[in-house]
Structure 1
Amino acid sequence: MKDLMGLMGKAKEMQAKFQAMQEEIANLEVTGQSAGGLVQVTLSGKFEMRALKIDPSIFKEDDVEILEDLVLAAHNDAKVKVEAEMQKKTSELTAGMPLPPGMKLPF
């Protein structure tokens, strides 16, 4: 019974840590870029676009499609960075826990 109480305590502690991690990730801001930094997109940890910066040197009337592609590329770069940061924080939190391979947290 003592082991069960200890396990319950650890589960509550882990739940609190996950909640704190989720709040930290939600407040995270990551900037992705394309075209060598001419287009930059900043996303929150919830993948909300917070900022978009476009260098005026790439504005040309006939190049709208290129600009659209660059914005998408910068957004995708920022998204990959947010996902990597989430994975890093989750790995730090679960370090030492005997989890099955491939199991992703939070559930």
Structure 2
Amino acid sequence: MAKFDMNAMLKQAQQMQAQMMEAQEEAKQEIVEASAGGGMVTVKANGGGEIVEIVIDPKAIDPDDPEMLADIVMAAANEALRSASELVESKIRGQMPGLEGLLQ
């Protein structure tokens, strides 16, 4: 009967944690971009889930309809954050292919 090696399992878990942290740090250095409103608003986010830039075309600024601009900014920001999240997941998958079933 095979003996269960708790030390080996803990060492492997520590290695996996270190690899995940490394992948997350790498992703923080990368920027994703999304736009909405036909390109009127562009948002850039990093893999750390932070918005790093918002560019608004002056044509999108309608003083009579600020809600429209807010909706466009929110749509672009949410898409940029989704892309940043997908970037982190892909980095982690690249580092740890055995985690496919855990990252859903």
The aligned counterpart of 2:60 is 58
The amino acid that maps onto 2:42 is Q
| Pair 33,100 (structure 1): closer, same or farther in 2 beyond 3 Å | closer
Are 1:42 and 2:44 matched, yes or no?
yes
What is the TM-score with the length of structure 1 in the denominator? 0.76
- SS of 1:32's equivalent? strand
Question: What runs of 5+ residues in structure 2 fail to find an aligned partner?
Answer: none
Query: 1:77 and 2:79 equivalent?
Result: yes
Q: Which has the higher contact order (CA 8 A, sep 6+)?
A: 2
The residue that corresponds to 1:89 in the other structure is 91
- Hey, what's the Cα distance between the residues in 2 that align with 1:60 and 1:28? 33
Deviation at 1:7, TM superposition (A): 4.9
**Residues in 2 aligned to 1:100 and 1:90: alpha-carbon distance in whole angstroms:** 10
Deviates more, 1:76-85 or 1:40-49: 40-49
Deviation at 1:83, TM superposition (A): 1.3
The amino acid that maps onto 1:81 is S
After superposition, the C-alpha distances for 1:58-87 in whole angstroms (9 at most, x for unaligned) are 222112110000000000110111111112
How much identity, in percent, do the aligned residues show? Answer: 30
- Aligned-CA RMSD value: 2.6
**Count of residues in Structure 1 that have an aligned counterpart in Structure 2:** 102
TM-score (norm 2): 0.78
Distance in 1, matches of 2:53 and 2:92, equals 26
* CA-to-aligned-CA distance 1:9-36 (integer Å, 9 cap, x gap): 5444333322211111222221111012
Unaligned runs of at least 5 residues, structure 1: none
Whole-Å Cα distance in 1 between the matches of residues 58 and 100 of structure 2?
50
The match for 2:17 is 15
The match for 2:103 is: 104
